[in-house]
Chain A
Amino acid sequence: MSRLPLEHIRILDLTQAWAGAYALQLLGDFGAEVIKVESRTRPDPWRGSFAPRALAFYPTVGPGDHPYNRSYLANSVNRNKYGITLDLSSPEGKAMFLDLAKTADVVTENFTPRVLGNLGIGYDVLQQVRPGIILLSMPAFGLSGSYSDFPGIGGTVEPMSGNSWLLGEPGGSAQVSGVMYPDAVAGLNGAAAVLSALRRRDVTGEGSHVEISQLESMTAMLGEFFDDAGLASLGRVGNRDRSLVPNGIFRCAGEEEWVAISVRDDTDWDALVRRLGNATLAAPEFRDAGARRRAENQIEEAITAWTTERTATEAEAELLEAGVPAARVRSMADVIACPQMNATGYLQVLEQPDSLPPAPVPGVIARLTETPGNIRLPAACHGEHSREVLSRILGLDDGTLDDLDARGIIGAGPPPD
C-alpha cells in the first residue's frame, strides 16, 4: 500500500464545531494522525450536550442513549481522527497535553485569542516543549484588531463578511446560506495554513504560528466584487454573473423544480435561442454580452416562459442536447444518487457511530494519483480513543488510566458525579 502524503504528521486538535473540525478532517484525509482533544465535561458543541437537546441535528430514529455521538453535524466532520478527552483545567490533564505536544508536529485551536495562554499552553509554551511546532489559531476575527476578543460563529461572520449582502434575490432581502458556510471556508483555509507551515518547516526547520480570521477567509471569496467601479452600489446579485449573460436558475413545471442555465459565449447563446425558438431573442444585436446585459430581465422572462412548460429533468435534457450548459437543481438525496459521484467512486459508504446505519460520504477533496488520501476511521465518539492513545503515545498503564477515568480527567460520556 502506498504511503499517505501526511502519514508522518501528528496533530493535536483542540478546535470545536465546524471550521476547525473540518480543517482537521481534510488533513486527516491526507493521512495525518489527528488526535481530537475534547473537554471531559462539555463535549464539542456540534455534538450538542450530554443530554438530548431540542435542536435538530439528531437522526430521525432519535437521539438514543448517547445523543452526543449521534449528531450529523459532528459526525460529518470528525472522521479519520482519534477522539480523546482531557480536563485541561486540571494540572494532570494539562501535563498530559504537553506530553502529547512533545510528540506532535501541529496544535490547532479555535478559542478566542486569550484562552490558550490562560490555559498555560500558548505558543511560547508549546515552542519550549517542542521546538519547530506549528500552532494554528482560528478565532472568528483573528488574533489582533479591535474585534479579536469577540465571539463569532458562521451565522454572524456571514453578515459581517459581505457574503450575506450579496446573497439573495435581486431586489430582495439579504440572506444567510442554508448552512453555516463561512465555517467550511475557514476550515479549507485552516488546512491550507497548516500545510503551508509544514512546507516552511520542511525547508527551514522552523515552526510557525499561523492564524485564520474566519471573517477574512470569507471575504477573500468575494474578491471579484472589489474590482468593480459599482462596488458602492452593489446589492443582491442572485445567480447573475459578472461575465456570463444570461446565468440563472429558472422555475420549471412542478413543485421545487428548477433548472440552472449558463451562457458562456455566443455559441451557447445561439444554441439556447434555437432551442427556445424565440424570434425576439434571435435578433442579431443579442449576439453580444453587453447587449444581453442591458436586456437581462427580458431574456430571463423569455427563458422562464419556456422552462415553466417542462419539468427540470426535461429542460436539462433538451438544453444539454442543444449543447447549452444546464443542470437540474439537485437535492442532497440527488447528490447521493449522482451518476458522476458514484461512477468515479467519490462517494464512499462509511460506518456511523453509535449503531447508526452506514451512510455515503464524500471522499478526499483532492485526488493524489500516487499517494492518495483515504478514509480510515469513522467519526470518533466522545472519548472513544482516550485509553488507546494515552497508552500508545504516553505509555500509561491500565491502573493509571483506570484512576484517571474514575477521577473524570479522561473518559467517555458524562463525567462521574
Chain B
Amino acid sequence: MSMSLLNGLRVIEVSCTPRAGFCGKMLVDAGAEVIKLSLPGDEGPGAFSNWLDRGKESVVLDWRTDEGARLLSRLLGSVDVLVSDIECEGPARELAAAAATVPALVHVSTSDLGHSGPFAERPSSDLIVAALSGMCYINGEAGRLPLREPGNQARIVAGIAAYLGVLAAVINRGQSGKGQAVEVSALEALVNVLNPSVLQSSYQDGQPRRQPSAQGFLVDCADGRVSIITSAQRSWDTILDLWGITPSEEDAPKFAEGERRKHHAEIRTFFGPVLASRDRQDVFEEMCAVRVPAGMLMSPADLLTDRHLLAREAFDALTGAEGPARTFPGPGFRVAGERPGADRGVPAFGADTASLLASLATEEVRA
C-alpha cells in the first residue's frame, strides 16, 4: 500500500515530461488518486513510464473536441487538483482555460523556463535548464566538462516544486474554500535549490567555480571506494589516532583545518596502505562508529542489495510488465514506521476511461 497521507485527494495529470510526471508519482506515493489523462493517438511504446506512471489510472479523452471539452469540464469539477506540463496544455493553453472555470480546482502548471518572460518561447530540455541555472558551471572539474546531475533532475526538481505548490494551494483551499492557478518553472526551482551558490557569488566575487578535483575524498579499499570527510578537526584527529598515523612535524601545516582539501594526494598515501586490504563496508562502518562521516561509493545496482535499504524495504517492484524483473527507488519521505512504497504496475492505455466516464454520468443523473 502507499502512504495514507493524501487519501481522498483526487488528481488529474496531463504530462509529457518528468516535471508533472514526477509530481504525479509523488502524489501516488503519498496516497492520492492520480488519473493520467491522455489524448487518443498518444498510445504506443513509451506512452507510459515504468518509473513514473506506476499506480496511476489511465483515461483517454480528446478534450479538443466539443464533446470532449464538455467531459473535461465535468471531470475537472470532480477532482481537487490538475497538474500539467505546459507543452501539453494545447496550443492556446486550452487546458488551463478549462481549469480556470472550476473555482475550487488547484491547477499547477509546469514549464522548463517560465510561463512568461524573454525565455518562455525558447526551445528547451532538462540539460538546457541545468545549463541556464548555473548548476553545470559548478559541477565537474575546472577546465573540464561541466555536468548536469545525472538523468533529468532539473525537471524532477520542478516536479517536487510542483508537489509543494499542489499541497500549499490545497492547504490554503482548506482555509479559503478557493482553488487557484500555480506556476512552476524548472529554471526557477533549480535556482532556488542553488540558493547557497547564488548568495556565494554576491559574497565572494568570482565564486563559485569548478574545483580542480570533483572527486571529493574517495579512497580505494580492497573491493571498492569509500568517501571519508575529514574537514572537521575532530574527524581528522580521530582517524590519525585510530590508524596510528603521525604526519611529520614539517608536514603538519598542510593538514591543518581548511588546508587538508589541497593535500588529498598525500592523505591518500597515509590512508592507502591501511585500507588496501579492507572491505569498503567494514571501513564505512568503522568510520561511522567513531562519528566520522563516511560513505561507500555505490552503483545503482549495488543499492539493490544493500542490507540497510533492504531492511527498510526501500525499493518497490514493477508488477505486470513483460521483460526482466525491475525494482524502483521508493519515495523520498515516509511516515515513520511504515513501509511507504507499493509493488505496482503501469496501467494499460485508457484502461480506466469507461469506468470514469460512467461515474461522471451517474453523478450527472444524480444532479
Contact = CB atoms under 8 A, between A and B. Distances in A.
Contacts of B9: 199
Nearest to A175: B214
A320 B50 CA distance: 33
A180 to B, nearest CB: 9
B150 A222 contact: yes
B1 interface: no
Interface string A114-146: 000000000100000000000001000111111
A264 B77 CA distance: 35
Contacts of A326: 123, 128
A93 interface: no
A224 B5 contact: no
Contacts of A159: 216, 218, 225, 227, 295-298
Interface stretch (A279-287, A361-369, A399-407, A409-417): A361-369
B119 A339 contact: yes
A174 B196 contact: no
A222 B300 contact: yes
Given A223-B328, A332-B137, A368 B165 contact: yes
Interface in A203-240: 203, 208-213, 215-217, 219-227, 229, 231-232, 234, 237-239
Contacts of A330: 131-134, 137
A313 to B, nearest CB: 13
Contact of A72 (B137, B161, B196, B335): B196
Contact of A231 (B184, B196, B298, B300): B300
Contact of B150 (A149, A210, A225): A225
A324 B127 CA distance: 13
B79 interface: no
Given A189-B160, A216-B314, A338-B132, A160 B171 contact: no
A143 B336 contact: yes
B125 A264 contact: yes
Nearest to A153: B293
Contacts of A26: 164
Interface string A146-161: 1111111101111111
Contacts of A325: 122-125, 128
Contact of B196 (A55, A73, A210, A320): A73
Contact of B332 (A152, A189, A200, A320): A189
Given A146-B307, A196-B5, A262-B125, A178 B160 contact: no
Contacts of A369: 180-183
Contact of B174 (A77, A193, A202): A202
A181 B200 contact: no
Contacts of A241: 125-127, 152
B4 A200 contact: yes
Nearest to B195: A76
Contact of B161 (A77, A146, A249, A366): A366
A174 B300 contact: no
Given A166-B151, A192-B164, A336-B202, A213 B312 contact: yes
A162 B303 contact: yes
B311 A145 contact: yes
Given A146-B311, A156-B293, A174-B215, A367 B184 contact: yes
Interface string B205-248: 11111110011101000000101010100000000000000000
Interface string B130-170: 11111111111101111111111100110011111101111
B299 A217 contact: no
A249 B125 contact: no
Contact of B5 (A177, A199, A212, A229): A199
Contact of B146 (A163, A168, A179, A249): A249
A147 B50 contact: no
Interface residues of A, number: 153
B175 A3 contact: yes
Interface string B173-207: 01110101111100111011111111111111111
B20 to A, nearest CB: 13
Interface stretch (B55-63, B252-260, B266-274): B252-260
Nearest to B226: A159
Nearest to B116: A344
Nearest to A60: B204
Contact of A336 (B8, B120, B198, B327): B198
B324 to A, nearest CB: 6
Given A168-B147, A174-B297, A185-B332, A367 B164 contact: no
A343 B117 contact: yes
B26 interface: yes
A338 B167 CA distance: 29
A211 B183 contact: no
Contacts of A259: 131
A260 B311 contact: no
A247 interface: yes
A72 B136 contact: no
Contact of B136 (A22, A75, A329, A339): A329
Given A137-B336, A159-B227, A167-B150, A191 B164 contact: yes
Nearest to B206: A333
Contact of A161 (B170, B180, B298): B298
A366 B183 contact: yes
A165 interface: yes
A340 B187 contact: yes
Interface string A247-279: 111000001101110101000100000000000
Contacts of B214: 168, 175-178
A341 to B, nearest CB: 7
11 contacts: A22-B195, A54-B257, A165-B299, A192-B160, A210-B334, A221-B153, A223-B51, A249-B145, A325-B122, A340-B120, A373-B168
Given A169-B144, A325-B125, 11 more contacts: A54-B256, A151-B292, A153-B293, A164-B227, A177-B214, A237-B150, A325-B122, A330-B131, A365-B192, A367-B184, A371-B176
